[in-house]
Chains A and B, each alone.
Chain A
Amino acid sequence: MMPDLGKYAVAVLSSYGVTLALLAGLVGLTLWRGARVRRQLDAVEQRRGEKQRGDNGQT
């Protein structure tokens, strides 16, 4: 299944390896930061909602 890359195996496999690692890192960081910011925003909005309900005298 694996193609015979001959004397160019290092160049070709390194190219694909580094590319896939960089793309995976980029996607991973995007998802991680997205989830973190979303969690923080949810927490602040929840706090804000509770404060507004408190200010209006609701329980």
Chain B
Amino acid sequence: MASLWQYANPKKFMQTTSVLLPVVAVLAALTLGTGLIWGFFFTPDDYKQGATVKIIYIHVPAALMAINAWLMMLVTSLVWFVRRHHVSALAARAAAPIGMVMTLIALFTGALWGQPMWGTYWAWDPRLTSFLILLLFYLGYIALWEAIESPDTAADLTSVLCMVGSVFALLSRYAVNFWNQGLHQGASLSMDAEENVADVFYIPLLICIAGFGLLFVALVLARTRTEIRARRLQALIARERMA
């Protein structure tokens, strides 16, 4: 069986993703389109929340991806730390702006959903606050990559920041369980079927989550390919200057 580590070779990664990326991108567009159209146009209003329930199809998948993007960055940062594979550090860098946009979407749609349901756009609730801190970590992570000229030093320092920020990524997920207070409800989805949202909302929600997940993968692959090219470009320009 081919080892996963072969994809740490930039050439192998570029070869494989040149085939994989178009497939994932088309799947992402189809899945996301289906889920959002189904959720927006073909699901009923909730008996308590009215039409605002339609926000669930973007808010929940975006929030999930905001946390999962950081966890993916944690894994790739650890791989960089232990095995010094450049593709791994570049994949973490590529994922950060996507995670930041997902966090922004989760915060914005949450505020718009919260106003009619809770009577306020914002509250210093454990989950909301930990999400805001996660957004600041994303901004700090991106800024740190941009601020340091040496790519290896930048990868080292951002990896450390990523490990620290992982505490808040996990808190964002479990804040409701840790502190049983605040406005935000518990998880909308659970392995325990009795805790899930009603079936009529459940299937389009799962499709939207799959669509956001596939979009994330497609964007990470595309952006990692760009980062690999940018790194080679920098190396060639440096070599030209020295010649």
Contact = CB atoms under 8 A, between A and B. Distances in A.
Q: Real complex partners, A and B?
A: yes
Interface of A: 1-9, 11-12, 14-16, 18-19, 22-23, 25-27, 29-31, 33-34, 37-38, 40-41, 44-45, 47-48
Give 6 nearest A-B pairs by CB, closest first: A5-B51, A15-B109, A8-B51, A34-B226, A11-B112, A19-B58
Interface in B68-86: none
A22 B229 CA distance: 25
B44 to A, nearest CB: 9
Contact of B40 (A8, A16, A37, A40): A16
A43 B115 CA distance: 52
A31 to B, nearest CB: 8
Contacts, number: 91
B214 to A, nearest CB: 13
Contacts of A31: 222
Contact of A11 (B52, B104, B230): B52
Interface stretch (B141-149, B150-158, B233-241): B233-241
A18 B105 contact: yes
Nearest to A48: B236
Nearest to B56: A15
A5 B230 CA distance: 46
- Secondary structure of the A side of the interface? helix
B93 interface: no
Given A6-B50, A11-B116, A34-B222, 11 more contacts: A8-B51, A8-B52, A15-B108, A19-B58, A22-B105, A25-B101, A27-B219, A30-B226, A41-B229, A44-B236, A48-B240
B52 A37 contact: no
Interface size class of B (residues with CB under 8 A): 35 or more
B105 to A, nearest CB: 5
A16 B113 CA distance: 11
Contacts of B5: none
Interface string B23-52: 000000000000010001100000000111
Contacts of A45: 236
A6, A15, A37: residue with the most chain B Cβ atoms closer than 10 Å: A15
Interface string B82-116: 00000000000000011001001100110011011
B202 to A, nearest CB: 19
Contacts of B41: 1-3
B149 to A, nearest CB: 18
Interface in B174-198: none
A43 B105 CA distance: 37
A26 B40 contact: no
A6 B105 CA distance: 23
